[in-house]
Amino acid sequence: MSNETLFNDDWLKLQQRYWDGLAEMGRKALGTESAGASNPWQAAMDQWWKTLSPGASQPGQEFMDRLMEQGKSYFETVEKLTKGIAGTDMTQGWDTITRNLEDMQKAFMGGMADGDNSMRRMAGFWEMPLDNWQRMVSSLSPMMPGDLLRNMPHNPMQGDVERMLSAPGLGYSREEQGQYQDLIRRSMDYQRALQEYTGFFSKLGMKSVERMRDFLQAHADGSKPIDSARTLYDSWVSCCEAVYAEEVATPEYARIHGQLVNAEMALKKRMSVMVDESLGAMNMPTRSELRTLQERLQENRRENKHLRRELEMIKRSLAGAEKKPAAAAAKKAPVRKKAAATPAGNASQG
Amino acid sequence: MFPIDIRPDKFSAEMLDYSRKLGQGMENLLNADAIDTGVTPKDVVYSEDKLVLYRYQRPSDVAQQAVPLLVVYALVNRPYMTDIQEDRSTIKGLLATGQDVYLIDWGYPDQADCALTLDDYINGYIDRCVDHICETHGIDKVNILGICQGGAFSLMYTALHPEKVQNLVTMVTPVDFKTPDNLLSAWVQNIDIDLAVDTMGNIPGELLNWTFLSLKPFSLTGQKYVNMVDLLDDPNKVKNFLRMEKWIFDSPDQAGETFREFIKDFYQQNAFINGTAKVGNHPVDLKQITCPVLNIYAMQDHLVPPDASKALNGLTGSQDYTELAFPGGHIGIYVSGKAQKEVTPAIGKWLNERAS
């Protein structure tokens, strides 16, 4: 396959047109229009990849997906940081960059206030830790998507729901009612933990913007301005990673992290118990029964291997005991003694 | 001076360049064969359950040491990291120094293995591998090289079976699990391990991956891929990168009971330091380790901080204790060019000097 085919001329031409246009707008100091998440570059890139990806090997596809995803994040980040600064003088430039940074902070603050939707829009970049978590949760619970409870409002109605859940079950199905109540309670616990976790990241986002502002101010004293998108992006990553490293080393984060994992496990466990009960009602083997069998089987195997080893040792010591009289007899006959020494010598040479 | 001077035409040129490189990279990705891992020829010499013991084929032009070296890798991730590619292979380097190298591949535990304990791994699997090697060679002792968690296993094994270990090498091995810079340890303190294991049975590799990626999420899940675009035009670099990617995300599930014991006893209770380590019903006394010990750590290790490894000094009963600091990270200590020149030859030399 040639490069021309792969590049897909239309795709590159479309991008070229888009970027020429944007450059022209910048030259006219009108670069205040955000390209947005669905800019032609991204759209063309997505289309191009959708066409070609089926031909790639599985690891290649996954890898390329990540490259595409991060490529978009890279340019989005740079666009947000540099929006409107082209063609400005020093004072206007600082005003603009300050406004851009403030916009980013507002987005993070909004994220905290409205269930982090605006943070998600603001920086796909800061989605990574959350995205990683959700992918992981989805892989553990195919029936429960990782973001199932993420944006579900809960605070206004929390008190009422908890009162309802604390009411005892009644009648013939009270045990079942109790289980469902417990399931809902654990769902709410998980939702609370997840929102505290995302809230923590919102705060980190704001701190990172502060760090970036400090970095740019310090850089203004240097000899050379940042003149490439990559350098600006790398600086942003460094600021984020530095803030992240400081914050996740705190006891507060350890608590939030532990709470999130524990809440997810508690929810999953309740679901497993309920699935087990349904299986039991259908006279099917349950996970709990299998676990008991696994433990017993392993105990048997452990004992079996231990006994087998002891048996081997007994056999060997018996064989050794039988050899001793033979060796003692051999000592009396010089010719046989020499012959017996040879195999032992070979063995020791490995 | 205004700190940013990115002209729109330069920005657009950068973006087009990025697109162009992606296009070129696509060709290399389409042409990439299945990712091969583990390059040095080896033979299966023993297997039990999901465990496979390999013996690597020695180079014909190198005289081999009489005492074989058993590599004990961690249960986390896969051991082909030690033999990841032709020019980045710890195994190959060890063979070149005359070591007769064996390696335990733990395989991929499934739910049927969830009841495996530390006792099963250490006094069971490792001990039977050692016995197999000793029988094959007609010897009483082997050399052991324990890597990361495998190093902790090796310490326990050597303390419990000192008569079977001639020399012990530990690489990036956690000993003090509660050093202040140990993020993994800090995070795990508030996790209810019993709840996790009782719920999941085995601990999924995905959960471990998430934890490791969370140590440096922006570099490890973002910036790395943006930087990689620059290398996409080189098919070999693409393949090497894919190989590493495969390894990073190739995380076996952890046998539940072993995970429970290891995390609670070591990460939460710091059992080596507090002297409370035990395997099954056997207390582990590191003072029982009297053989020569070489302890290698990586100075930029974000998974096992240097102090976590250096804590071994003084804990064993060995009169011949050596430390080797490597200027790199937890993975670089196996795969970096520098490691091939510094670490592996140093291990070989240290072992050869102690060959009796």
What the block records as the tokens of A239 is 């600021």
Q: In this predicted structure, what is the pLDDT of residue A337?
A: 41
Least confident of A45-59, A336-350, B69-83: A336-350
A24 lies in the same domain as A153: no
B291 catalytic, yes or no? no
What radius of gyration, in Å, describes the C-alpha atoms of chain B?
22
Q: Does B138 contact A135 at a Cβ distance shorter than 8 Å? A: no
Amino acid making up residue A47: Q
With beta carbons under 8 A apart, name residues in chain B contacting A24: 8
Going by pLDDT thresholds of 50, 70 and 90, the confidence category of residue B213 is confident
- Mean pLDDT within A71-80: 81
Alpha-carbon torsion angle B303, B39, B224, B5, nearest 10 = 130
B29 close to A (CB below 8 A): yes
Q: Is the pLDDT of residue B153 over 50?
A: yes
Q: How many domains does chain A have?
A: 3
The answer for A 258-317 residues in CB contact with B (under 8 A) is 258-259, 261-262, 265-266, 268-269, 272, 287, 290-291, 294-295, 297-299, 302, 305
| Sequence-distant (≥ 6) Cβ neighbours of residue B61 within 8 angstroms | none
Instruction: Provide the percentage of residues in chain B whose pLDDT is more than 70.
Output: 100
Q: In this predicted structure, what is the pLDDT of residue A320?
A: 86
In this prediction the ipTM stands at 0.88
Give B203's DSSP letter. Answer: B
Q: Is the pLDDT of residue B133 over 60?
A: yes
Q: Taking a C-beta distance cutoff of 8 angstroms, is the pair B292, B167 a contact?
A: yes
Least confident of A119-123, B102-106, B111-115, B119-123: A119-123
Residue B201 backbone dihedrals phi, psi, to 5 degrees? 75, -100
pLDDT in tens, B289-346: 999 999 999 999 999 999 999 999 999 999 999 999 999 999 999 999 999 999 999 9
A149 lies in the same domain as A242: yes
A137 lies in the same domain as A275: yes
Which among B156, B177, B159 is positioned nearest to B263, based on CA atoms? Answer: B177
- Mean pLDDT within A40-49: 67
A166 lies in the same domain as A27: no
Q: Is the pLDDT of residue A180 over 80?
A: yes
Closest approach of chain B CAs to the CA of A165, in angstroms? 23
- Angstrom distance (rounded) from CA A93 to CA A86: 8
Q: In this predicted structure, what is the pLDDT of residue A26?
A: 47
- Angstrom distance (rounded) from CA A326 to CA A333: 11
pLDDT in tens, A104-121: 877 776 644 444 443 444
Q: In this predicted structure, what is the pLDDT of residue B321?
A: 98
A13 lies in the same domain as A140: no
Q: In this predicted structure, what is the pLDDT of residue B17?
A: 86
Tokens 């380590």 -> residue: B277
Judged by phi (left if over 0) then psi (alpha if -120 to 50, else beta), residue A26 lies in alpha
Q: Is the pLDDT of residue A178 over 60?
A: yes
pLDDT in tens, A153-166: 455 556 666 666 66
A98 lies in the same domain as A247: yes
Q: Does B10 contact A241 at a Cβ distance shorter than 8 Å? A: no
Assess if residue A340 is contained within a domain. no
Give how far Cα B226 sits from Cα of A39, A72, B19, B212, B220, Å. Answer: 19, 10, 11, 20, 11
Assess if residue A261 is contained within a domain. yes
A69 lies in the same domain as A111: no
CB atoms within 10 A of CB A17: 11
Q: Is the pLDDT of residue B12 over 90?
A: no
For residue A315, what are the domain limits?
A: 288-325
A211 lies in the same domain as A245: yes
CB atoms within 10 A of CB B185: 23
- Mean pLDDT within A220-226: 84
- CA angle A25/A28/A32 to nearest 5° reads 55
Going by pLDDT thresholds of 50, 70 and 90, the confidence category of residue A16 is low
CB-CB: which of A245, A268, A347 is closest to B199? A268
Q: Which of A9, A11, A132, A217 to probe by mutation at the B interface, max B CB count within 10 Å?
A: A132
A74 close to B (CB below 8 A): yes
Higher pLDDT, B186 or B240: B186
What angle in degrees, to the nearest 10, is found between the helix axes of B235-249 and B8-31?
Answer: 80
Least confident of A6-10, A236-240, B64-68, B235-239: A6-10
**Closest residue of chain B to A73, computed from CA coordinates:** B222
Least confident of A38-42, A60-64, A127-131, B266-270: A38-42
A234 close to B (CB below 8 A): yes
What radius of gyration, in Å, describes the C-alpha atoms of chain A?
33
Q: In this predicted structure, what is the pLDDT of residue A126?
A: 60
Q: In this predicted structure, what is the pLDDT of residue B127?
A: 97
In this structure, the strands spanning B278-279 and B51-56 are: unpaired
CB atoms within 10 A of CB B51: 18
**Closest residue of chain B to A2, computed from CA coordinates:** B27
Amino acid making up residue B158: T
Q: In this predicted structure, what is the pLDDT of residue A7?
A: 46
Local structure of B226: helix, strand or coil: helix
A66 close to B (CB below 8 A): yes
Q: In this predicted structure, what is the pLDDT of residue A279?
A: 93
With beta carbons under 8 A apart, name residues in chain B contacting A23: 7-9, 11-12
Q: In this predicted structure, what is the pLDDT of residue B177?
A: 98
- Angstrom distance (rounded) from CA A152 to CA B342: 54
Instruction: Provide the percentage of residues in chain B whose pLDDT is more than 90.
Output: 76
Q: In this predicted structure, what is the pLDDT of residue A17?
A: 63
- Mean pLDDT within B116-142: 97
- Angstrom distance (rounded) from CA A45 to CA A38: 11
Assess if residue A350 is contained within a domain. no
Q: Is the pLDDT of residue B163 over 80?
A: yes
What the block records as the tokens of A114 is 């409205």
Least confident of A155-164, B188-197, B226-235: A155-164
| Sequence-distant (≥ 6) Cβ neighbours of residue B179 within 8 angstroms | B185, B305, B307, B308, B311
Mean residue pLDDT of chain A comes to 74
**Domain architecture of chain B: domains with CATH:** 42-185+285-353 (3.40.50.1820)
A96 lies in the same domain as A139: yes
A142 lies in the same domain as A277: yes
A192 lies in the same domain as A293: no
- Mean pLDDT within A252-259: 95
- Angstrom distance (rounded) from CA A4 to CA A164: 65
A317 lies in the same domain as A197: no
| Sequence-distant (≥ 6) Cβ neighbours of residue A107 within 8 angstroms | A118, A119, A121, A122, A123, A205
Q: In this predicted structure, what is the pLDDT of residue A203?
A: 85
Instruction: Provide the percentage of residues in chain A whose pLDDT is more than 70.
Output: 61
What the block records as the tokens of B37 is 């891992």
Tokens 């466990």 -> residue: A269
Alpha-carbon torsion angle A192, A195, A197, A203, nearest 10 = -140
Q: Is the pLDDT of residue B207 over 80?
A: yes
B45 close to A (CB below 8 A): no
